[in-house]
A and B are shown apart, each in its own frame.
Chain A
Amino acid sequence: MALLKIENLKTEINGNQILKGINLEVNEGEIHAIMGPNGSGKSTLANVLTGKEAYEVTGGSIEYMGKNLFDLNPEQRAWEGIFLAFQYPVEIPGVSNANFMKTAINEKRKFQGKPPIDAMEFLRMMREKAKLVEIEQKFLNRSVNEGFSGGEKKRNEIFQMAMLEPKLAILDETDSGLDIDALKIVANGVNKLSKANNAFIVITHYQRLLDYIIPDFVHVLYNGRIVKTGDKNLALELEEKGYEEIKQNAK
């Protein structure tokens, strides 16, 4: 059974059709990259998977672990192991990173019928994962993303991913705005988290990140459709030639 099966997905926002029939299958242990020019629908796909309301699904289906994904609200999708690393993470003044994570973990455990996480265990976990993304421990008591640079916010997303141990992680242009050092830290985090029983969808505009996170599949999204699929070499090809050829062929 595929972990994620998207069939002929069509979506609209404010009356405009964005996704025009997406087909995608992701299995456990796989890393899929989705590339494409701006406006092709990459972020839309990420948001539809997490259940953001503004996006109206007008056709097709999404099956996640054999379940109809549309039956689950965003919280339930998170409890079932879906994680989105946001492109523009929001600041939440007054709510600490520690508090945010502890609440998220405990809500998931409640759903799983487990008791709340032990305080010492939580503390140990936080220190371990903070090391993974090279974040200082004093950041844990700071408010979520408050006063963080763009790069720090993205690293915080990976930290949260490490804490929540998702089954399907979606990275929405996590590499945008990062310098090479931050990029390497993010990639290292993802690679350490990648296991045989989880999967990643890495949405990116540039090929650069894929030098460090080696994808099993590369899909090109253009004008709401996946127009080409290949392996990691496709990414290198795009780097060389740009999106022009793709756009020409799609016409």
Chain B
Amino acid sequence: MNLDFKNKMVNEFVDFSNKLNGQGSSRIHRIRELAFESFKKLDIPTMKEEEWRFTSLNFLTKNDFSFSHTQTDENLSSEDIEQFMIKDINANILVFINGIYSEKLSRISYPRDEIIVESFSTAEKRNAPNLIKHFASHAKYENNFFTAMNSAFAKDGVYINIPGGVYIDEPIHIMFITDSRKGAVLSNPHNVIIVGKCSQVKLIETYHTIGDNPAFTNMVSEIILDFATNVEFSKIQNDKGNSYYIGTTQVTQAKNSSFTSANLSLSGKFIRNNMTTVFTEENAEANLYGFYFMKNDDFIDNHTSIDHAVPNCNSNEFYKGILDDKSKAVFSGKVLVRPDAQKTNAYQTNKNILLTDDAKIHTKPQLEIYADDVKCSHGATTGYFDKEAMFYFKARGIDETMAKSLLLNAYASEIIEKIKISALRDDIKRQVAERLTVDDIYFCDVLGDVFENAGIKI
């Protein structure tokens, strides 16, 4: 099958616009139309382009994706999606099926009216002024095929608007589920998250597939931080289905704000993560953490981009990977330090462990530094296991297989520990430990429980 994916989408737009039921004349739709104009002029990136050098997009022409734009949660119940829930977490959960919000399956509880956590389409219907202001103004569509496509077809996603001075304790879990039981599905969810001055919020993003047909999620999230805002964003990717994911997270940071992202990828046929943050005002900080643990024929491409547009900001990127079987990973970390961005601190590290000879990593730092009073560094290591450490284990009676299991868990935990939501952190730890378990290894946490149950303080 050799379909012209782009032409198909171009033709879809008319049908899409007609089915909008009155929203076809909204301010938001004006923006969608502009994005569509850009989309028409762009083409699917080829591997000749720098940003896609190691990443093939063949799957777009090999599958016949149908773009779903109607409510499709009738065939799913809470039991069906229970498996995707994070154990023992107290969170507000927004569930999207094929990119459309499902009130039935979601659980939001905000007693205070001024905290807005709703679906994009609800916000559009009431012409939410901040949605209109921010939608597609941060993640630029003019030169980006997938952002243009997303913005042209963005019908739903999450709209969060948190006023200043608010500390939200329970995380907000945004869950995207593709139901591909009846055929290949493409969805374009768009999220706009605005967080006010001195407010704090924790976000979790996950995506899953039900069904065997291909599922393509093309997601864009725009996260806007105000003065002294603190946002923790955890993106967990563990979908074992026939799924393709391209996700762009575009963050804008104001003065004194702090953005921490932990992107943990444990499974995925095709993943491309674009994580971008821009410092628009001074004294802001960004910490981007990533851990990918791929196997079989998994593919993951992590592209990050940090723009030090102003002075006195700090950024720190730390991505670690474990690649097994024939899996392949790409890491490309761009850091731009503009001419006036003095007193910038920007650090970037990418570490990889290859468990087989067939596993592959392409790692590429891209530091463009135009200011002179800065501290920047980057490093990438790819390797196997530390020989001295391995011998220490053996000398204590722990063989190579068991030692690797302990060492890999230790290696992974450096990033997993960055997740501050304890229920989520424990869930990931358990999943990673299970993949690395040889016989019965009791990890430290289990020991901690034993101590606690015995009423013993360490």
Report A's interface with B, CB cutoff 8 A.
50-52, 73-75, 77-79, 84, 86, 89-90, 92-96, 98-100, 102-104, 107-108, 110-111, 116, 119-120, 123, 137-138, 140-141, 143, 160, 164
Contact B397 A99 (CB under 8 A): no
Contact A92 B444 (CB under 8 A): no
Contact B397 A78 (CB under 8 A): yes
Contact B447 A74 (CB under 8 A): no
Chain B residues in 8 Å Cβ range of A104? 396-398
Contact A94 B410 (CB under 8 A): yes
Interface-side segment among B152-160, B236-244, B450-458: B450-458
A99 to B442 CA separation, bound complex (whole angstroms): 7
A141 to B445 CA separation, bound complex (whole angstroms): 9
Point out the residue from B392, B447, B454, B456 that lies within 8 Å of A92, measured CB to CB: B392
B14 contacts the other chain (CB 8 A): no
Interface-side segment among B267-275, B323-331, B334-342, B399-407: B399-407
Further pairs besides A78-B396, A99-B441: 10, Cβ < 8 Å:
A75-B397, A78-B394, A78-B395, A84-B395, A92-B389, A92-B410, A94-B411, A95-B410, A98-B447, A120-B450
**Minimal beta-carbon separation of A96 from chain B (angstroms):** 5
Contact A79 B397 (CB under 8 A): yes
Point out the residue from B391, B409, B439 that lies within 8 Å of A94, measured CB to CB: B409
- Name the CB-closest residue of B to A53: B391
Contact A74 B394 (CB under 8 A): yes
Chain A residues in 8 Å Cβ range of B441? 99, 103
B448 contacts the other chain (CB 8 A): yes
- Name the CB-closest residue of B to A74: B394
**Minimal beta-carbon separation of B246 from chain A (angstroms):** 32
A95 to B399 CA separation, bound complex (whole angstroms): 15
B414 contacts the other chain (CB 8 A): yes
Contact B394 A73 (CB under 8 A): yes
Contact B450 A123 (CB under 8 A): yes
Chain B residues in 8 Å Cβ range of A110? 439
Q: Mark B378-401, 1 if CB is under 8 A from A, else 0.
A: 000000001011011011111100
Chain B residues in 8 Å Cβ range of A111? 397
Q: Mark B317-354, 1 if CB is under 8 A from A, else 0.
A: 00000000000000000000000000000000000000
B106 contacts the other chain (CB 8 A): no
Q: A120-B454, A123-B450 are in contact. Are A74 and B395 (CB under 8 A)?
A: yes
* Interface of B: prevailing SS: helix
User: What's the count of A-B pairs with C-beta under 8 Å?
Assistant: 93
Chain B residues in 8 Å Cβ range of A141? 444, 447-448, 458
- Name the CB-closest residue of A to B396: A104
Point out the residue from A51, A78, A94, A164 that lies within 8 Å of B414, measured CB to CB: A94
B413 contacts the other chain (CB 8 A): yes
Contact B396 A160 (CB under 8 A): yes
Contact A99 B443 (CB under 8 A): yes
A216 to B407 CA separation, bound complex (whole angstroms): 40
Chain A residues in 8 Å Cβ range of B456? 123
Chain A residues in 8 Å Cβ range of B397? 75, 78-79, 104, 107-108, 111, 164
Chain B residues in 8 Å Cβ range of A164? 396-397
B114 contacts the other chain (CB 8 A): no
Q: A92-B389, A123-B456 are in contact. Are A99 and B447 (CB under 8 A)?
A: yes
8 A Cβ contacts from B354-392 to A: 386, 388-389, 391-392
Point out the residue from A95, A103, A116, A140 that lies within 8 Å of B458, measured CB to CB: A140
Contact A116 B409 (CB under 8 A): no
Chain A residues in 8 Å Cβ range of B440? 116
**Minimal beta-carbon separation of A209 from chain B (angstroms):** 22
Contact A98 B394 (CB under 8 A): no
Point out the residue from A77, A90, A103 that lies within 8 Å of B402, measured CB to CB: A103
Chain A residues in 8 Å Cβ range of B407? 92, 94-95
Contact B394 A138 (CB under 8 A): no
A104 to B393 CA separation, bound complex (whole angstroms): 8
- Name the CB-closest residue of A to B405: A103
A103 to B410 CA separation, bound complex (whole angstroms): 14
A189 to B458 CA separation, bound complex (whole angstroms): 22
Chain B residues in 8 Å Cβ range of A86? 392, 395
**Minimal beta-carbon separation of B424 from chain A (angstroms):** 19
**Minimal beta-carbon separation of B390 from chain A (angstroms):** 9
Q: Which 7 A-B pairs have the closest CB atoms?
A: A94-B410, A78-B397, A74-B394, A104-B396, A119-B450, A96-B444, A95-B410
Chain B residues in 8 Å Cβ range of A78? 394-397
**Minimal beta-carbon separation of A33 from chain B (angstroms):** 21
Chain B residues in 8 Å Cβ range of A123? 447, 450-451, 454, 456
Chain A residues in 8 Å Cβ range of B451? 123
Can you list 9 pairs linking A and B with CB atoms under 8 Å apart?
Answer: A50-B395, A78-B394, A90-B386, A96-B447, A99-B441, A100-B406, A103-B402, A107-B397, A108-B397
A98 to B456 CA separation, bound complex (whole angstroms): 15
A95 to B413 CA separation, bound complex (whole angstroms): 10
A141 to B450 CA separation, bound complex (whole angstroms): 13
Contact A102 B447 (CB under 8 A): yes
Chain A residues in 8 Å Cβ range of B396? 78, 100, 104, 160, 164
**Minimal beta-carbon separation of B273 from chain A (angstroms):** 24
A154 to B399 CA separation, bound complex (whole angstroms): 23
Chain A residues in 8 Å Cβ range of B395? 50-51, 74, 77-78, 84, 86
